[in-house]
Chains A and B, each alone.
Chain A
Amino acid sequence: MISIVTRTTFMFFLVMFALRVMGKKNLGEFQPSDFVSTMLISNLTSIVIEAPELPILYSVIPILLIVCYEIFTSIAAKKNDKFAKITQGSPKILIVKGIIDQKVMSELRFTVNDILEAMRSKNIFYLEEVNLAVVETTGQISIYPDPNSKTNINKADIPPFDIVVDGKYRNKNLDYIGISKQQTEKILNQENICAEDILLLLIDGDKNYNLTLKELV
């Protein structure tokens, strides 16, 4: 038992040291390589704690080696832009002036829900309010709101809800807005399109809508 206690204590401080040397503060800042290193380190740590018959070096050496590789890759990425692009990727512009770049969206395998979620987390509910949305290399979406949006958009009491996403109706959201499916179809008829062609239809409480059609990507 004492062996497990000493091993756990030793591994705890070793992993603390490893993460400190790698210089990461929280999971949100993780690049793919950081994530891989952290995953591997956590697995390697558990190996010797769970199996006291294994020499502690079986975990210590791979952990230290991973720390070295992590430092080498981050320094190489700092020195060489091409290498950085390969290992960390590059930020991608997802929305420009309220228009979703569907090519980038499918490239990154993002869904409309991911975009709406990121907007909501920044207190943005209207797509028109987004001047620029960038997907960072960490996977987070950074949004620069339109500085004029507060004056240009007539906001309703009920914020816009996603009524049609990827050609499918969200029946629950129709009730929130207080609009029927028939009324929505009427709007679509006026625009001369069918639901299957829509990537995203947002309607707010005042029945103002924002329509994004599917593009062939």
Chain B
Amino acid sequence: MKIFRFSLILFLTIIISSVLCSFYIRDNLSFYNIYLKNIESIDKNIEMAKKEYALLKSDFYTKKDMLQRFINKEHINEIEKNILLIENAIINNELTECQNLSIETQCLITQIIDYTTAID
């Protein structure tokens, strides 16, 4: 019975923590999508884009290590690469390129959310 209790506690812990993890991943990644949507919708205002980008970047690097514990590192690296490309586009005042990259990153993030949280 001791082993049963132990496995029951373990099982419930796994189920609860996996649900919490799913929410954590979805919430955080959705948050990046909001920043990216803002960057995408900014027309001809590179300063606004810079502001949004700075928020996105700082948030991403704060949570990067934590996210790597739950998400494939390759996915995180892809997001990071896109974020750096957006930075490069902002520095070069290429707003269209910046918007395209934002859309691309949003697609990538949506895909990752699907991979990690969807129940097929």
Segment at the A interface, from B39-47, B67-75, B87-95: B67-75
**A109-165 residues at the B interface, CB under 8 angstroms:** none
Question: Which interface class (under 10, 10 to 19, 20 to 34, 35 or more) fits A?
Answer: 10 to 19
Does residue B96 face the partner (Cβ distance < 8 Å to A)?
no
**Interface residues of B, dominant DSSP:** helix
Q: B7 near A57 (CB under 8 angstroms)?
A: no
Q: B70 near A68 (CB under 8 angstroms)?
A: no
A52–B72 alpha-carbon span in the complex (Å): 9
List A contacts of B68 (CB < 8 A): 55
Does residue A54 face the partner (Cβ distance < 8 Å to B)?
yes
Does residue A67 face the partner (Cβ distance < 8 Å to B)?
yes
Q: B74 near A57 (CB under 8 angstroms)?
A: no
Q: A68 near B10 (CB under 8 angstroms)?
A: yes
A65–B15 alpha-carbon span in the complex (Å): 9
Of B8, B11, B70, B73, which is within 8 A of A57 by CB? B70
Q: A64 near B72 (CB under 8 angstroms)?
A: no
Residues of B within 8 A of A (CB): 3-4, 6-8, 10-11, 14, 18, 68-74
| Extra A-B contacts (5), CB below 8 Å, given A53-B74, A64-B10, A72-B11 | A55-B71, A67-B10, A68-B8, A72-B4, A75-B4
